[in-house]
Structure 1
Amino acid sequence: MTRFNLDPTNLPMLDSSQAARLDAMTDAELTAQAADDPDNPPLTDDELARIASARRVQAVRAQTGLSQQRFAETYRINLARLRDLEQGRSRADSALLAYLTVIEGEPEAVLRALG
């Protein structure tokens, strides 16, 4: 396996024959080839759930405009746990998802309740 750092200012490009080959493939053929690629296995249900959870946590925090540290302090969420959630290393449980829903809908009420 070869590792390299991708330079965002100099992205790799498809040559015309590669682009033509991809353009000629149907969605079903592209999906089948992607599924057969050993270097790019499909995401598991757990991985998809962790991604969805991460996006939810990030979206609620972004709505508040707070940094991770300030959000964690303000809403009394462990900072390491928040980072794990936002980076998809773990999933939010139903209680945390409910708490995020309340933060999203009634942030002032949460702040009053937390005193």
Structure 2
Amino acid sequence: MTNPDDAGLSDAALAILRPVTLAKRARVVAGLSQGTFADTYGIPIGTLRDWEQRRSEPDATAVAYLTAITNDPVAVAIAYRKSAA
């Protein structure tokens, strides 16, 4: 059964769609490329890629950090720069 809000996607097509990972959501909200996001927030680029491609999952601390970035990317970037100085 297809929902009209699904933009005409079949049930089979909808079944293979995956929700966006928290890491990618945080990066998209911040409006940054993977490299810039990794540099801005002090996350190793390989780790970020693994999280985005579901090769690994962020631990609880990383989830909290990504959630904070998603909620206010500018404030977290400023706080990170101050703590890194």
Query: Does the pair score TM above 0.5?
Result: yes
Q: Percent identity?
A: 42
Aligned length: 64
Q: Give how far 1:73 is off.
A: 0.3
Q: Which ranges of structure 1 fall in alignment gaps of 5 or more residues? A: 1-50
Distance in 2 between residues matched to 1:110 and 1:78, nearest whole Å: 17
**Relative CO higher for 1 or 2, CA cutoff 8 Å, sep ≥ 6?**
2
Let me know the Cα RMSD of the aligned residues.
1.7
User: How far 1:112 moved relative to its partner?
Assistant: 2.0
Residue 68 of structure 1 aligns with which residue? 34
Unaligned runs of 5+ in 2: 1-17
Name the CA distance, whole Å, in 1 between partners of 2:72 and 2:30.
11
1:77 lines up with 2:43 in the alignment: yes
Look up the SS of the partner of 2:49 in the other structure: helix
Aligned pairs for 1:7-46 (under 5 A) are none
Scaled by the length of structure 2, the TM-score of the pair is: 0.67
1:108 partner letter: V
Given candidates 66, 73, 85, the residue that maps to 1:100 is 66
Structure of greater Rg: 1
Letter of the aligned partner of 1:78 in structure 2?
Answer: P
Alpha-carbon contact 2:26-2:70 (below 8 Å) kept: yes
